[in-house]
Amino acid sequence: MHSVAVGHGWFGAPTPDVACDPTPVRVSVIFKLFINRLNSSQVPKLELRHLQMLAALATAPSLGQAADRLSITPSALTHRVREAERRIAAPLLVRDRGRPRLTGAGLRLLDAAERCLRELDLAEADVAQGRSVAVDLVRIGASTLSGYEWLPELLRRLAVTQPTIEVEVALDVSLDPVGALRERRIDLAIMPAPVRLAAVRSQQLFRDEMVAVLPASHPRSRQPYLEAEDLIDEPYVADVTSTETGREFERLFEPRGIRPKRVRRAGHTEAVIALVRAGFGLTILTRRTAAPYLAAGDLATVRLTRRGLYLDWHAVLRATDFKASAARTVARTLAETTRGSHRAAR
């Protein structure tokens, strides 16, 4: 069980129990941090004890047993539930034949709580066992068009050249990596075009080619290239249907003022490929992203337009991180890695 030591600050509000140097400067800094925490809209409304409460309620057959697991009384648990419900303005618990049952809101929060508690358990175990803890964590998010064939080699190279940097991939930001970058949910975005915003900077990685991916048995798989007009009447499978920077809707369809008549959104590259394989339509990916799916021989790729349709992948960072940061180091290493593998593949 996790425990957090707390004291009582202004108006009886719990504050972290930290040892403070009693100098005016130190006290001033702590006071400012406290006020900033109160005023910040980004501060979670629930605390660790509420997350532990959700985990206990999800598995205990009764309120009393859930309270036992938390080492509190049933009355205290009831008060804690009500406190959490007030903070998030949503019901978390209902009784179903005498047994506590989490509501939809409770289940959504439970999912996040379990991940947080699991990660905290792992971190505590690492520290307790004296394992080396990375100094810098760089969170990477990529456009839905991107594959991750570059990730293993990036991690191998960083392990040798930058062992204090840890890389984490955030899959849930693929619809808007730049937005996640600006909100500091990630530190590095992989995009199929440079991003022209004052708050970010772009570093070119490598050139790639957009191609149509379709069943090998499809009549159009034997054409030397396909124009946008060739795709109008074909069922089209896409991970997203919005116009994204550097994607096919912006680069291929919009300049001609047309779109495929039938578009099925599949949400993820794996799902897109599964539907194309099953004959539900065709799609557009980059050669690098499509390559791992071609080994079985049941899929084919066809060039787009007579000259080909190319894009340049970029690493996008916050402007404040571009000169010197762990994220910039990862971006440079990724550029070296992908340029080397791209030359080898040609």
DSSP 138-168: EEEEE-TT---TTHHHHHHHHHHH-TTEEEE
Nearest Cα neighbor of 181 from 322, 295, 31 is: 322
Cα–Cα distance measured from residue 282 to residue 272, given in angstroms and rounded to the nearest whole number: 9
Say if residue 305 is in the same domain as residue 318: no
| pLDDT reported for residue 345 | 40
Statement to judge: residues 188 and 169 lie in one domain: yes
pLDDT at 244: 61
Taking the whole predicted model, whether its pTM rises above 0.75 is answered as: no
- What values do phi and psi take at 160, rounded to 5? -85, -45
Same domain, 245 and 320: no
The answer to whether residue 335 sits within a structural domain is yes
> Nearest Cα to 247, choosing from 201, 297, 302, 289?
289
**What is the rounded distance in angstroms from the CA atom of residue 231 to the CA atom of residue 303?**
13
Here the tokens at position 154 are 């990036």
Cβ-contact 92, 99 below 8 angstroms? no
Listing DSSP states for 56-89 in one string gives: HHHH-SSHHHHHHHHTS-HHHHHHHHHHHHHHHT
If asked whether residues 254 and 194 sit together in one domain, one would say no
**Cα separation, 238 vs 266, whole angstroms:** 6
Q: Is residue 1 included in any domain, yes or no?
A: no
Per-residue pLDDT 10s for the chain (346 aa) are 443 333 333 323 343 433 444 433 434 444 444 444 444 446 789 999 999 999 999 888 889 999 999 999 999 999 999 999 999 999 999 987 778 889 999 999 998 898 889 888 888 887 887 765 557 889 999 887 788 889 999 999 999 999 989 999 987 787 788 988 998 899 999 998 899 998 999 999 999 999 999 999 999 999 999 999 999 999 999 887 665 666 788 888 888 888 898 999 887 888 999 999 999 999 999 999 999 999 999 999 999 999 999 999 999 999 999 888 999 999 999 999 887 554 444 4
For residue 133, give every residue at least 6 positions away whose Cβ sits within 8 Å of its Cβ, in sequence order, or none.
126, 127
Residues 182 and 319 in one domain: yes
Distance CA 316, CA 178 (A): 8
Confirm whether 319 is domain-assigned.
yes
Do 182 and 270 lie in one domain? The reply is: no
Q: pLDDT exceeding 90 applies to what percent of the chain?
A: 51
238: tokens are 């896409």
Domain that holds residue 78: 48-128
CA distance 155 to 161: 10
Model pLDDT, residue 245: 60
Tokens representing residue 338 in the block:
């992908």
Question: Same domain, yes or no, for 228 and 152?
Answer: no
Among 128, 152, 170, which residue terminates a domain? 128
pLDDT at residue 91, rounded to an integer: 94
User: What 3-state class would DSSP assign to 225?
Assistant: strand
Same domain, residue pair 109 and 229: no
CATH number at residue 244: 3.40.190.10
CA angle (342, 343, 345) in 5-degree steps: 65
Kindly report the CATH number assigned to the domain that includes residue 108: 1.10.10.10
Q: Which of 96, 128, 160 is the last residue of a domain?
A: 128
Domain count, the chain: 4
CA distance 276 to 342: 26
Do 200 and 62 share a structural domain?
no
Do 212 and 292 sit in the same domain of this protein?
Answer: yes
Measure CA 197 to chain center. Answer: 21
